[in-house]
Structure 1
Amino acid sequence: MLRPDPRRCLTATATAALLVVDAWFDVTTSQPGPELATAVAMAVCAELPMAALCTVLAVRALPSRTRDKAPDTDRSDLQVNAAT
C-alpha cells in the first residue's frame, strides 16, 4: 500500500475473489446450529469486509485515464489543399 505499484491491483483482486468464495463455501457447507452461526458471523464480520477493502484497493490501483497523456486530436499537422 505504501508503494504505488500497479501490480497490486492483481493481488488485491485475487484476494477479494478468494475471500468471497471462502465465505460462500463456509456458509453453504456448515451444519445448522452453532456451526452455521459461526460461519455467518465470520463471513459478515471478517471475510466480506476484507473483500470489500481489497476491491477498493484494487480499483484505486488501476491507472487513471485522465492521468495518461491523451493523444493530440487537433489535427494541426494535416494540411488541407483547398485548390484541389
Structure 2
Amino acid sequence: MVVFAITRAGYLELEPIIKTLKYPVWVGAGVLSNSELTELRHLGLNLTNFSYSIEPNNMETILDALADISAHHPGHRIWLECQPE
C-alpha cells in the first residue's frame, strides 16, 4: 500500500497510519515543511514529495501523479486523497 496525501489536512487525517512507517508516502508540494520532510525521513519514512502542488479536485493532475507513483511502486495499491467536484 502507498499513501498519497494531497493536502495538509489529508496528511493529518492519515498521520496515525503514516507514522507506523509501514507504507511509502507521497505528498504534494507544500503539504509538509522542509524540516518536517527531513524529520520524517530521519525516522525512516519512505517519503516522496512532488515538486508541484496538487489540488484535490484536479483529476487530470491527480491521474498524472498516480502514474508517477505507480511507476515507482508497481503492483501496489495507492490510497488517495481527493475531492471530486
- TM tier relative to shorter chain: under 0.3
Taking structure 2 as the reference length, the TM-score comes to 0.24
Q: Which has the larger radius of gyration?
A: 1
Larger strand share, 1 or 2: 2
Larger helix share, 1 or 2: 1
